[in-house]
Amino acid sequence: MVTAILNELELQKDFLNNKTVETIYFGGGTPSLLDTSELNTIFDKIHSLHSVANNAEITLEANPDDLTKTKLAELKNTPINRLSIGIQSFFEDDLKFMNRAHNAAEAQGCIENAQALGFENLTIDLIYGTPTMSDQQWNSNIQRAMNFQIPHLSCYCLTVEPNTALDHFVKTKKVPPVDEEQSAQQFEMLIKTATKNNYIHYEISNFALDGWYSKHNSSYWKGKPYLGIGPSAHSFDGMDRQWNIAHNQQYLKSIDGGVVPFEKEILTTDQRYNEYIMTGLRTIWGCDLKNVKAFGEIYEKHFLNIIQAFLQDKSVFEKNKIYSLTSKGKLLADRITMELFFEE
């Protein structure tokens, strides 16, 4: 797989048109399985093909049980300067419900060890809205994360995806359905506590101390081009989107033959407008009317017509022709976005 990744980097070297690489993100699957030499080999290849910014944000996703003291010490010998850790919860019953491989002690221990070894730029994932999580436990999860002075939090509401084990358990009544009222209440608790502790709610699911926004995710939300390498990886050049096949063996075979196995979608103006609305409204940068205008007069008229109702009910506010969600609007983000979508 590492050899294939190196080969795909070579095959895709012109995708970014010589743009400086500002972020590198090892995600999806278990990139923490890579050892130091494998990671550094990939970095060497990236540097040989691209100009990488001196202050590039370089993130590795990992599960708490993977981040042993030994593993963390090894990672210090790579260019990785940011860790994204899938904590989910600091409570045992929540972790068992979510079928996580790590336990509560490992959740806490990996953060302590990472900080002790000098990893300052940390982000952790937390999940709320599970049947096992009381408001008191959720508040404790938030407080514990903040007591660690973790500069970035990604917090997601539990969702039941079709055809998953959780979906089956809900349908067979082995697990209660998601309580939407409680989920909304826990989301409001999160916003209130985070704000009180100087975290900026810069995207619906993301909170950061000043200066600690995720540069990588922010690039997605701002529509910047990006290159994805490996099975299932997605890429975007500003107008078109492509994604590699998910099947590992087929991917390896195709790359070995010198062909990147991807499908491509040329985005229509409707799709690009809708994606701008979807990503813009979720962030503190909002939707700028001048950017809406750039899609065409019909989109501007549609946007201004629909947005009026949300301005009146104070779920959206406008400043200098930039439209953003209010605290009330953040609870209704999906509905507002759907209303603003353009479909002929």
Confidence of residue 178 (pLDDT cuts 50, 70, 90): confident
Residue 160 has what pLDDT? 72
For CA atoms 27, 32, 34, 38, the dihedral sign is: positive
Burial of 157 (0-12, 13-18, 19+ CB in 10 A): middle
Q: In the prediction, which pLDDT does 174 show?
A: 72
Are 110 and 149 within 8 A, CB to CB?
no
Same domain, 44 and 122: yes
On whether both 198 and 330 belong to a single domain, the answer is no
Sheet holding 322-325, edge to edge: 287-288, 322-325, 316-319
Do 287 and 142 fall within a single domain?
A: no
Is there a domain that residue 240 lies in?
A: no
Residues 184 and 296 grouped into a single domain: no
The reply to whether 8 falls in a domain is no
Q: Is residue 234 part of a domain?
A: no
What predicted TM-score, i.e. pTM, was given to this entire model? Answer: 0.92
Residues 171, 297: one domain? no
Pair (70, 215) in one structural domain: yes
State the Cα–Cα distance between residues 13 and 51, nearest whole angstrom: 11
According to the model, what pLDDT value does residue 305 have? 97
44 and 191 belong to one structural domain:
yes
**CATH number of the domain residue 194 falls in:** 3.30.750.200
In a domain? residue 231? no
What is the domain count for the chain? 2
286-312 per-position pLDDT tens digit = 999 999 999 999 999 999 999 999 999
Residue 178 belongs to a domain: yes
- Region 142-148: what's the mean pLDDT? 96
Higher local confidence (pLDDT), 177 or 150: 150
With respect to residue 325, please indicate whether it lies within any of the assigned structural domains.
yes
CATH number at residue 323: 1.10.10.10
147, part of any domain = yes
Same domain as 177, residue 72: yes
Distance, in Å, from the CA atom of 32 to the CA atom of 72, rounded to the nearest integer, reads: 10
Which one of 164, 187, 221 terminates a domain? Answer: 221
Output 159 or 193, whichever has higher pLDDT: 193
| pLDDT at residue 168, rounded to an integer | 66
Question: What pLDDT does residue 167 have?
Answer: 64
| Residue 101: per-residue pLDDT | 87
Split at pLDDT 50, 70, 90, the class of 30 is confident
Q: Which domain holds residue 307?
A: 269-340
* Together in a domain, 197 and 305: no
